[in-house]
Structure 1
Amino acid sequence: MSRLRLFVWLLLLAHLGVLLWVAAHLPIGPHEAKLFFTGDTLVARLMHWGVTCFPDAEFLSIRIPFLVLHLINLYLFYRLCQALLNDETEVLTAFVTFLLLPGIVSSAVLATSTGLILALYQAFLLLYIKKREWLAYLVLPLMLYVDKSSVVFFFAMLTFALWRRNIPLLAASVTLFAAAVAMYGIEVHGKPKNYFVDTVALYAAIFSPLLFLYFFYAMYRILLKGQRTILWHIAFTILLLSLLLSMRQKIPIQDFAPYVVVAIPLMVHLFFRSYRVRLPEYRKPYRLAAVAVYAVLVLNTAILVFHRPLFLVLDNPQKHFAAPFYLPYWCAQALKERGIAAVTTRDGKLAYQLRFYGIEPNGGYSLSKKPAPGARSVTIRYKGRSIATCYVSKINN
């Protein structure tokens, strides 16, 4: 076993261990809680399956199905890299890059449809690239039932089939695109407003800033001079579509990003090709650039994973990106310490989170974030530091 392969195996084991730890300690989020109590989607069913099978695993129970999906996606991505790249160094580099992406790490521990999208999309790509097209066509209808992200995917597939003049694929894409639009519609709403910078910032958070900069360059370079494969076409089309739409309205980035990140092998191949055509004395800038990109990537992912200490150093802990996960949990703990088992709140998502922790809705107490006459303050603390304050008042019946 080569040293690089051994390093990747050790990194993979560390990655899985850290993800298990994060999944076991991360409280349920507002979207997850609402989905758990009101949703009838595949994601909601997977959450309930996890709780049924692992009732004593607390937070881990709702996340186990998505960790399993993550393992499947890592395997599929590795196989995809092997199908696309001939060099082992390129395969392992692409795999490690995918492994460390903040967007992939977060999708592994959160109850979202991203894992399902990635699994079906990568299965389709593998079958299509290996010339098992009719099996690939059987995967396509499954993607229709995951969520509304299938609209943009089938649109990209339609444009690819038109470009390649692939009649069977075109017929399947048109049919499924029409079905997706009929099921989910096309979201064009609100007063036109430019969210382009916000969307770029979200992609930078999913990839890490420097990596996304090079990824965008790689996609553009392939457009000009490279081989425009189905993987490149779908990734570039959806990336471009998301940026164009963001000039008018805020887009749900989770509907676009899964189809974009899978193109990581193309970026890695372009880098190594550019690196190897140069004489050794001219390769140093490439090595330095790679070190900078991966240093920022590792730092971003480390902050994402080991985020709790930030509650102790931020001037305003309530602006912590994980505050919507932790504050309701700590609030529930504080309420239980005061013997309060049921509260009424106007915040619907908060009510679902509190319900998950055993604080029932429509109780004899009112919970709010603002003080009211006669209300008792409940201080939410983490390691002795005051993080936030909520107010509880008795409801007079």
Structure 2
Amino acid sequence: MRTLGTTFLFVLLLIAHIASLLFNISEMSIHHTEAFGFFYDKSWLFALARFSYEHLGRDDLALRAPFLALHTLNVCLMYAISRIYFKKPIDSLLCVLAFMILPGVVFNSVLVSKSTIIMTIALMCVYWQIRFRRNAYLLPSISVFLDAGCSVLLLGMFFYALHHKNTRYMVFALICFAINMNLFGISVSGHPQSYFLDTLGGLIFLFSPLLLAYYIYSLIYSIRRYDEFMSYVSLSAIVFVLILSLRQKVDIHTLIPMSVVGLPVLINRFMSDIRVRLPQFRKGYVARLVCIIALACAQTSVLYANKLAYLLGVKSHFAKSYYYGKDLAHKLKAMGISAIQAQDKRLELQLRFYGISNDSPRVLRPARDLAHYDVSLEYLGRTIARYEIIQDSKKPSHRQQ
């Protein structure tokens, strides 16, 4: 009965989580980097996005549907891993809830991104190892040919095998890593530049500050005390990215997803710290847990309700590039405009995705005189952008009737 009850609560959490992500997708516009990839990138990632777009509805949801589906699979895999890893069902729910509220996980789940797929492979390998007590060979072999981000999984496998003196698995991981680097090698050419603080900021965004600090501590403790595979993978991801950032800018969204797979280790450390103590001495540890989760929830809620940030200021809004395209396209279509160039070519790509072609002599540009404009965008009663329409960049502004 406890198992059924836990599963029922998990399903409710999952439904609520998916509903919140669908709401987020409905509010978003395609980003200009996604639009560029959609039209010009021939990689398997955007091939998947184009296939979904063509066959599932030709809208934002269709574009992001494969990645939302993979994220849903990741949540289920995390729950399956937690049910095996934890003795108490409530710990499994807490682990899945923590996974659902991680800011970086939420952000990447609604983007056209490799990170969701990389995380799926890592979680499958962890599930295989923890479920059958056997090392995974098939999935790592496939991951070799997908992306450089999978190199972190292979590094984790190597250090795990090295510690266990498993020569066969160590050689396998090393060969896979060498092939992956040969195919997608991370460039280390040029003058060394430190992006350590930028990368650390990305990690803090993914986990939230307090959670990241306690997570690293939990992973180190787990490796020293329990020697768990998922801890090797997660810690390898964090250390590898931080070391690499001392020399060059790191594609953190590709390399860091593997670090999330050790989340059960973190929850286990939290709950062990609480339960090992007498009830009268638990308050401080419970308060620490509540504080860390509350901070992560607050950080994630900013992603869901980020339009409220327009009340604080327009220029400083961190997500404005995820909104202009769709809303501006709807405004232009309401004015009977189906073709127009844009002075900002990144915006032009976004408009093109929403059916506004660029084969027109008219040009859309930011209004130079804020009192005279043709189209404007407003959120929460605040005007965030004004545009004017001219015939071409060499002629004076021509007001469209």
* TM-score relative to the length of structure 1: 0.89
State the Cα deviation string for residues 261-291 of structure 1 (Å, max 9, x = none).
1111001111211211111111010111111
Counterparts in 2 of 1:253-268, with a 5 A limit? 253-268=252-267
Matched, 1:380 2:377: yes
For 2:198 and 2:339, the matched residues in 1 are separated by 38
Q: Aligned residue pairs: how many?
A: 390
Distance 1:265 1:5, change over 3 A: same
RMSD over aligned Cα atoms:
2.6
State the Cα deviation string for residues 243-276 of structure 1 (Å, max 9, x = none).
1222222211112221111111001111211211
State the Cα deviation string for residues 182-205 of structure 1 (Å, max 9, x = none).
111122255433322222221121
Distance 1:180 1:368, change over 3 A: farther
Contact 2:233/2:261 (<8 A) preserved: no
Counterparts in 2 of 1:272-287, with a 5 A limit? 272-287=271-286
SS in structure 2 at match of 1:319? coil
Counterparts in 2 of 1:1-397, with a 5 A limit? 1=1, 7-55=9-57, 58-131=59-132, 133=134, 136-223=136-223, 225-311=224-310, 313-315=311-313, 317-345=314-342, 347-361=344-358, 363-369=360-366, 371=368, 378-395=375-392
Stretches of structure 1 that go unaligned for 5 or more consecutive residues are: none
SS in structure 2 at match of 1:379? strand
For 1:361 and 1:387, the matched residues in 2 are separated by 23
Identity %: 29
State the Cα deviation string for residues 292-313 of structure 1 (Å, max 9, x = none).
11211221222211222222x1
Contact 2:155/2:233 (<8 A) preserved: no
Contact 1:211/1:297 (<8 A) preserved: yes
For 1:189 and 1:28, the matched residues in 2 are separated by 33
For 2:12 and 2:353, the matched residues in 1 are separated by 36
* TM-score relative to the length of structure 2: 0.88
CA displacement at 1:62 relative to structure 2: 0.8
**Letter of the aligned partner of 1:163 in structure 2?**
H
Stretches of structure 2 that go unaligned for 5 or more consecutive residues are: 396-401
State the Cα deviation string for residues 56-92 of structure 1 (Å, max 9, x = none).
6x21111111121112111111111123222222222
For 1:351 and 1:148, the matched residues in 2 are separated by 31
Show the counterpart of 2:399.
none
CA displacement at 1:13 relative to structure 2: 2.1
Contact 1:207/1:297 (<8 A) preserved: yes
Distance 1:228 1:133, change over 3 A: closer
